Amino acid sequence: MNILVTGASGQLGNTIKALSETTHEELNFVFKSSKELDITDLVSVQQELTTNNYAYCINCAAFTNVDKAESDTDLARKVNISGARNLAISCNESTTVLIHISTDFVFDGYLNEPYNEEAIARPIGFYGDTKYKGERAIINNLNEHFIIRTSWLYSEFGNNFMKTMIRLGNERDELSVVYDQVGTPTYAKDLAQVILYIIKAHSIDYGVYNYSNEGVASWYDFAKAIFDGQNIQIELKPIRSESYPTPAERPKFSVLDKEKIKSTFNLAIPHWKDSLVIALKAYSKIEA
């Protein structure tokens, strides 16, 4: 079974690559970085998909710099909307199932209860807006799709909050982190394993799903757990969002309801604190 992974140089793509090296299933992964396959180029995407008999395409390619999306709107729109549409069109032509990664940022964070898949999407930033429009482009052009919304993704690969906190913790004596934005950290390996499970199950339960680890945290809670796990001694101060202004507004509450994906695929999802322990060990092994 041939499986295309786009955006393969990012943290989720690298995580899937690491998992693929340990699987003994008859899965043939082809990893394409954004330089190797530009999803904003429809002709290139069509050629890749129609000539290689892919059963699945896992789209990890995205413009994910939330703040930069507010100014670099053209590129964010091209990658997150046009790119998603190009993949959907091409997958439809080649009878390929598309597994697309989306985000909790499609919600405004005003609900104050976990968001399920039927909740109204109301992005408050340009990044979230492009990701939601990318979802719609897929739904309108391809029936055989899985759209997985996730939150606060981190891993031992790429650039992410965990690695940034470790770096800053080793550079500084004190650090301020916001405590009034609440969500769920998600270890990329857990998400990658769910994606591979869906593929191996040959599921036809297409649609939109939420996936994150279990539990709830603020960014302050997440940072403290990282420092405790790494035995980093630092004075950590909780601050409100207005004390740390950013170009893009973040949702204050973006906890995802995961009942649909748990019941559909009979999943037991790890708590974020348990997965963080595993991620920190993996990070330490790489850095050793």
Closest alpha carbon to 110 in 282, 251, 3: 251
Which of 56, 127, 187, 220 does the annotation list as catalytic? 127
197 noted as active-site residue? no
Residue 115 backbone class (left: φ over 0; alpha: ψ -120 to 50; beta: rest) = beta
* Residue 110: CB atoms within 10 Å: 10
Task: Give the number of residues written for the chain.
Answer: 288
| Inter-residue contact 5 to 199 (CB < 8 Å) | no
Pairwise CA distance, residues 89 & 91, whole Å: 6
Q: What is the DSSP letter of 248?
A: S
* Residues contacting 59, CB < 8 A, separation 6+: 6, 7, 39, 83, 84, 87, 98, 99, 100, 101
Quote the tokens at residue 151.
């939150």
DSSP codes, 28-68: EEEEE-TTT--TT-HHHHHHHHHTTTEEEEEE------TTG
Pairwise CA distance, residues 84 & 135, whole Å: 7
Closest alpha carbon to 107 in 209, 251, 258: 251
DSSP codes, 114-154: -B-TTSPP--SSHHHHHHHHHHHHHHHH-SSEEEEEE-SEE
What amino acid positions are annotated as catalytic residues? 127
